[in-house]
Amino acid sequence: MEPTGSEGMEPAGTGTEGMEPAGMGTEAIEPAGLEPARLGTTGTEGIEPAGMGTEGIEPVGLGTAEIEPAGIGTAGMKPTGLEPARMETAGIEPAGMEPAGLEPPEMEPAREAEEPPGSPALPAEAPQGGLPAAAPSGEEDLPTAPGRERQRERGRSGTSPQGSAGRAARGRARRAPGRRSGGESARRPGVTVDSSKAKTSLEALKISLRQLRWKEFPFGRRLPCDIYWHGVSFHDNNIFSGQVNKFPGMMETVRKITLSRAMRTMQDLFPLEYNFYPRSWIMPEELPLFVAEVRMMKDRNPSWKPTFIVKPDGGCQGDGIYLIKDPSDIRLTGSIQSRPAVVQEYICKPLLVDKLKFDIRLYVLLKSLEPLEIYIAKDGLSRFCTEPYQEPTLKNLHQVFMHLTNYSLNIHSGNFIHSASVNTGSKRTFSSILCRLSSRGADVKKLWSDIISLVIKTIIALTPELKVYYQSDIPAGKPGPTCFQILGFDILLMKNLKPILLEVNANPSMRIEHEQELSPGVFENVPSPVDEEVKVAVIRDTLRLVDPQKKKRKDTQCQSLEQAPETGEELPEAALPSLCLKQVFPKYAKQFSYLRLVDRVAALFIRFLGVKGTTKLGPTGFRTFIRNCKLSNSNFSMAAVDILYIDITRRWNSMGIDHKESGNPGMCLQAFVEAFFCLAQKKYKSLPLHDQVASLIELCECRLAALHGKRLVWGCGLAPQHRTLPASGTAPGPAQPRGHRVFRLQKSPQLRALMCRDRTGS
């Protein structure tokens, strides 16, 4: 939801980067067609890169993977000239478009940028950036070059200076894909992008589209576009095809309360794997529990003097966040009843740089839900406080410039420094921090490994809820768009370099400029080189990964490469850098698949929803689930099933959390997960919780598979027939007709083992 009256403001949980003034253009930021691939890294002068690209990082326990350079953008680059408007109408590019001192792209292939020594990056994958460029979009409506038009006229008239030899040569040219690639590209439509709802990411998106030479529709289009770029949510536009850069339900899923509940569920199942998320309490319903637990911990350790941070559920840009030392301070606010919040244990010993506290904004691309596909940007932003850090006391508890790293708060501090360098200022690149840590002997490879694990585990915790929303908005079998989304992970580093997840932003700010006050009340928008370097690369490479014409373009390029030796012509190539986004899932799926228990519970929930387009399970669907999985018995009757459903559903509906169907009294996914855990604990009392849940999931899946197989048999009209052995002294029964088969459903060994465990354990 976007705040009223603030067009550029990011919605709840969408980041902390501030507001964008209306009417921003892009002409003064970067010339069209600028190719930043070979401009090198910034902020690493005087440092000789160590051997990058031979070793690297994998999540903890995965060994080592490869190091690749951090992503490079276009910040601070000064090209020799600007590109005239509509320059591609003649099919040629003017000279002077390369940055000074660089060779044309066809002289040397695009290289990966070097990165500071010790700076990690994600594991390498197959190169995707060295492919020839897509044809400039929209060329089907552009005039043809005069010389080419004259050649066509001569071809139509049948005259040629070379006579029959010339006609044969032209015939060979028509048969050679490499020779006619320019004409084909002019007729082939380019990738189209609807940017009418892009909002604060518009400027970075425009630069990315110019670099890719894709066709932008800033005011929308009557015909469908290939990609729709939304600024806030999936529902910014009513679309039925193509791709959209938002998942339905993502804003609701990453809200602070929903995220905390999802992480707590995973902490109950896997406490050691999910210890990167601070201990949290949800207000107001868990206020008594919060008070009791704090009192108990203080009784155990009288020297413990904790600090807690209160974050409103729907807050953004640091709005409403404050610190407390005692649970009783919450009651003094007076707004906790009307504005739900999350209370977390405050990290009192963060890693400091230049005596300042900072956090990391890391960009993560969720490319697909099914199958799950995750990419992580190799560089991010480090956002600094503007007052030297001291551990919280009653005296400094309210100094937000010391304790809160939110950009939208610190930009109002008199100590905030806007810098064109990635190494200095109040906003720097994450790679510059890693370079400093590496120079001090820190193990940055392990740090990246921990960050990769944190991201994968967090996405695994979020996907069950996302799948419920996805099937509600885009039911299976109905036409609809496919989705992808860039998420902003806010991560804090402790002194021992352990990463702590602060929150996940559904709409991280993609602004690449900031406001500068020229005189009291007079502001000017100034480009931010640090933001541009990181954010343009993330958006551009996201578009490259979701390119709907990638496969068709690869096939065309393969044909062109085969014909290139005969024609002797060089193929046009885009001088784009290697991807700054590297895949981490399913690359490491084997190492993390055991964590996806709640995903399988969500699949059972979706199976019994019954009505397409809903996100809540009714009482009939819950009873059908119990009956089909054969979970009721003499100790757990169907009446007890109804009581369990009513108790859990009533409690969850009374919490007043904003769900898509808040008026529907049914059972939401989180309530179903709680009921499923109760059933698992009843059935397998002697096992740990994750083993209990895993055993019940396997039992339900096996019984549903057997039921499905039985229905298939009966649906084919092949009823199982049983032959009885004849009694002694009686005539044998009639023989089965030849060709008639007797179908019997055999229980799998896995199902038999689970049923034996049921009889002994329940």
- pLDDT of 70 reads 46
Dump pLDDT digits (tens) for 85-123: 343 433 344 343 444 443 444 434 334 444 444 444 444
- Asked if the model's pLDDT at residue 84 lies above 60, the reply is no
Higher pLDDT, 633 or 174: 633
Cis omega before residue 117 (within 30°)?
A: no
Question: b/e per residue, 271-289, with b = 16+ CB within 10 A?
Answer: eebbebbbbbbbbbeebee
- pLDDT of 57 reads 56
Reported confidence tier of residue 310, pLDDT bands at 50, 70, 90: very high
Distance, CA of 387 to CA of 416 (rounded, Å): 9
- Asked if the model's pLDDT at residue 719 lies above 70, the reply is no
Question: b/e per residue, 535-573, with b = 16+ CB within 10 A?
Answer: bbbbbbbbbbbbbebeeebeebbeebeebbeebeeebee
For the chain, the first-to-last Cα distance in angstroms comes to 47
Structure tokens at 652: 């969850």
Dump pLDDT digits (tens) for 471-490: 888 877 777 789 999 999 99
pTM confidence score: 0.71
Task: Characterize the bridge pairing of strands 485-493 and 499-505.
Answer: antiparallel
Q: Which amino acid is at 320?
A: G
Residue with tokens 């940028």: 113
Higher pLDDT, 555 or 169: 555
Dump pLDDT digits (tens) for 652-675: 988 765 445 555 678 999 999 999
> What percent of the chain stands above pLDDT 90?
44
Q: Cβ–Cβ contacts within 10 Å for residue 399, how many?
A: 15
Q: Count of alpha carbons within 13 Å of 28, Cβ hemisphere only?
A: 7
Dump pLDDT digits (tens) for 257-280: 999 999 999 999 999 999 999 999
Dump pLDDT digits (tens) for 189-210: 689 999 998 988 999 999 999 9
Highest-confidence segment of 6-10, 181-185, 278-282, 318-322 = 278-282
- As a whole number, mean pLDDT of residues 573-582 equals 78
- pLDDT of 3 reads 44
